[in-house]
């Protein structure tokens, strides 16, 4: 009975609404979404929505009753005739970093007039960042080289909450000790890309646990809760996707977007930071920070996003068949890092050269002319330059020697010193266990399938038995080589 009453009420409402519409034989289809105005880079108030209807293709504007001053969280189109004058935005555009930006013309002007302080956040969910974070680190590097000040924000506080963006389930809860250990592991990689110090453009590193852990709950709710509406928060993609998939979204995670917005406000107050940088999946959270800073302190601040990077076959950047491509050397050997870039697909090489190296654009344009097997020369430049920036030029000679020893038919007796290695446990050990310890596979079942498929080799001889073992007698010259497929190689050595 309740359902019947609801259906009747709904049909009456629809019929009354249709009575006010002009006559048309075409069916009407409505799509309400935040307005995006191509002629202006500024955000448009979400009080304006565009309603698309099939009435001769006309676009009609309708007013809504959303909360005052709310801003559209959709990506904003930039004027087609916009030409950046600041070197930083010129670099972002020419090398493919720019996805969306709030009021890009005003930001461009400020970047020309003086030093701009910009921040980018990194949560401490693991003891190392992986190559998926490298794009953001490169943006900070370009920012500093353009004469501005990078602020590296380590998420010691927000990691306790967990970012729900792009996740179907809650992140694993980490202890304070785990988070602090992860922060210690993450810190060192930034020294390789940024210059830290006390000068105007020297980078600085801060931890948002400094202010988030000091917040008093009721005071925080009273001061900042009225600045956010549940209506708006429910419209964010990170929330909508979880709800659409009927995946639980905890109240803890729901607060993440508020804390990220508060970070921007706090950094503006403490460090006069006026620009937040991040990935396009963070756009809604970043606009929240822009608006919160404006509403609370009347300050003009900006948000700029970079595109999420996927490979040409649609896979997420930063992963390989063997797992994450870590930036810390103790979690991934320099040779494996080099090999990851060397194995880049042909269609991705030029794009990755622009994003992940500092090879001049005119040289990249020349490499773009290479076709067929010649593209391997561009892949080698990509692998060399990315590895040089992270691990230093001193690792490249031994990496080249190792690669030559493994893949060149002319090589004889080349060095394998750069390959990952494990020590043999006892007098013998199953090859399946060794492959897992070398991070060539995630499970024993995966190893068995690869062996049965003929993809596993011991000293270049195919392993035909899934129960095969490596014994001390197999080891010659103190080591034995294990290979998985054509691109994964490692050494098993005797314990000293």
Q: What is the pLDDT along the chain (496 residues), one digit of tens a residue?
A: 444 444 444 444 444 443 433 333 333 222 333 333 333 333 333 322 222 222 223 222 222 223 333 334 344 555 567 889 999 999 999 999 999 999 999 999 999 999 999 999 999 999 999 999 999 999 999 999 999 999 999 999 889 887 766 555 566 788 999 999 999 999 999 999 999 999 999 999 999 999 999 988 888 888 888 888 787 877 777 777 777 777 777 777 778 889 999 999 999 999 999 999 999 988 988 999 999 999 999 999 999 999 989 888 888 776 555 568 999 999 888 988 998 999 899 999 999 999 999 999 999 999 999 998 899 999 999 999 999 999 999 999 998 988 777 655 334 445 566 778 888 887 888 989 999 888 888 888 888 888 888 888 887 778 888 888 888 777 655 678 888 887 788 888 877 6
Q: What CA dihedral angle connects 430, 431, 433 and 438, to 10 degrees?
A: 150
Q: Report the alpha-carbon distance of residue 200 to residue 147 in Å, rounded.
A: 9
Q: Report the alpha-carbon distance of residue 256 to residue 160 in Å, rounded.
A: 10
How many CB atoms neighbour CB 179 within 10 A?
21
Placement of tokens 């670099």 in the chain: 91
Placement of tokens 């020349």 in the chain: 366
Q: Report the alpha-carbon distance of residue 466 to residue 474 in Å, rounded.
A: 17
Angle at which helix 375-391 crosses helix 396-407, to 10 degrees, equals 140
Placement of tokens 């020697």 in the chain: 401
Segment holding 61, helix H or strand E: strand 59-63
Closest CA to 205 of 284, 133, 279, 140: 140
User: Residues 6 or more apart from 450 whose CB is under 8 A from it?
Assistant: 435, 441, 456, 484, 485
Strands, E assignment, 208-344: 275-279, 302-306, 319-320, 323-324
Q: Report the alpha-carbon distance of residue 125 to residue 186 in Å, rounded.
A: 10
How many CB atoms neighbour CB 103 within 10 A?
19
């Amino acid at each position: 009975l309740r359902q019947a009453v609801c259906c009747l009420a709904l049909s009456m409402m629809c019929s009354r609404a249709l009575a006010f519409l002009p006559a048309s034989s075409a069916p009407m289809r409505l799509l309400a979404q935040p307005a995006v105005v191509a002629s202006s880079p500024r955000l448009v108030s979400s009080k304006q929505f565009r309603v698309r209807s099939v009435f001769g293709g006309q676009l009609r504007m309708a007013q809504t009753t959303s909360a005052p001053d709310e801003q559209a969280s959709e990506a904003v189109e930039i004027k087609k005739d916009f030409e950046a004058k600041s070197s930083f935005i010129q670099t972002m555009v020419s090398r493919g970093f720019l996805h969306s930006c709030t009021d890009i013309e005003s930001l461009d002007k400020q970047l020309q007039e003086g030093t701009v302080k910009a921040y980018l956040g990194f949560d401490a969910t693991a003891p190392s960042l992986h190559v998926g974070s490298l794009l953001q680190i490169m943006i900070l590097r370009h920012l500093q080289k353009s004469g501005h000040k990078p602020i590296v924000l380590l998420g010691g506080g927000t990691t306790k909450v967990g970012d729900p963006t792009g996740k179907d389930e809650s992140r694993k809860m980490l202890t304070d000790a785990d988070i602090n250990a992860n922060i210690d592991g993450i810190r060192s990689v930034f020294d390789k890309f940024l210059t830290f110090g006390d000068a105007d453009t020297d980078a600085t590193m801060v931890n948002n646990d400094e202010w988030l852990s000091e917040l008093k709950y009721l005071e925080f709710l009273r001061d900042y809760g009225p600045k956010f509406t549940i209506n708006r928060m429910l419209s964010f993609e990170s929330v909508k996707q979880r709800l659409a998939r009927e995946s639980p979204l905890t109240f803890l995670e729901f607060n993440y977007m508020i804390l990220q917005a508060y970070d921007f406000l706090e950094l503006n107050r403490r460090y006069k930071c006026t620009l937040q940088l991040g990935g396009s999946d963070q756009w809604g959270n970043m606009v929240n920070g822009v608006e919160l800073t404006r509403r609370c302190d009347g300050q003009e601040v900006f948000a700029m996003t970079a595109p999420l990077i996927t490979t040409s076959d649609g896979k997420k950047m930063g992963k390989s068949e063997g797992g994450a491509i870590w930036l810390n050397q103790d979690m991934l050997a320099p040779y494996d890092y080099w090999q990851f870039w060397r194995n880049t697909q042909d269609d991705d090489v030029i794009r990755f050269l622009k994003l992940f190296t500092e090879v001049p654009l005119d040289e990249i344009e020349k490499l773009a002319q290479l076709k067929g097997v010649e593209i391997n020369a561009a892949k080698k430049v990509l692998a060399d330059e990315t590895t040089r920036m992270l691990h230093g030029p001193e690792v490249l000679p031994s990496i080249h020697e190792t690669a030559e020893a493994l893949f060149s038919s002319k090589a004889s007796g080349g060095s394998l010193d750069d390959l990952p290695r494990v020590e043999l446990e006892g007098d013998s050990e199953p090859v399946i266990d060794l492959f897992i310890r070398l991070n060539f596979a995630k499970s024993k079942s995966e190893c068995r399938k690869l062996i049965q498929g003929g993809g596993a080799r011991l000293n270049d001889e195919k392993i035909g038995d899934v129960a095969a073992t490596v014994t001390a007698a197999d080891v010659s010259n103190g080591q034995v080589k294990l290979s998985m497929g054509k691109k994964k190689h490692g050494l098993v050595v005797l314990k000293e």
